[in-house]
Amino acid sequence: MIEITADMEAIIKQAILSFVATVNEDGTPNLSPKASLTVRNGVLYFADIALAPDDTEPEAQSRRRN
């Protein structure tokens, strides 16, 4: 586990918008903006709020089929 230093915590707490990047099980990247990023007791927290994809969007239809 990575230690969050006091300098890192200060930067995170001042940020208005941050981006969190992860990798899905199939190896594809997942990058999304987070306005809810915070640190408490050395642990990074964020709310993962997803909007329902638009059914008319071809990319969203493709993701649901896979």
Distance CA 57, CA 51 (A): 13
pTM of the model: 0.53
| pLDDT tens sequence for the chain (66 residues) | 788 999 999 999 898 888 889 899 999 998 888 888 889 988 988 887 766 666 555 665 555 555
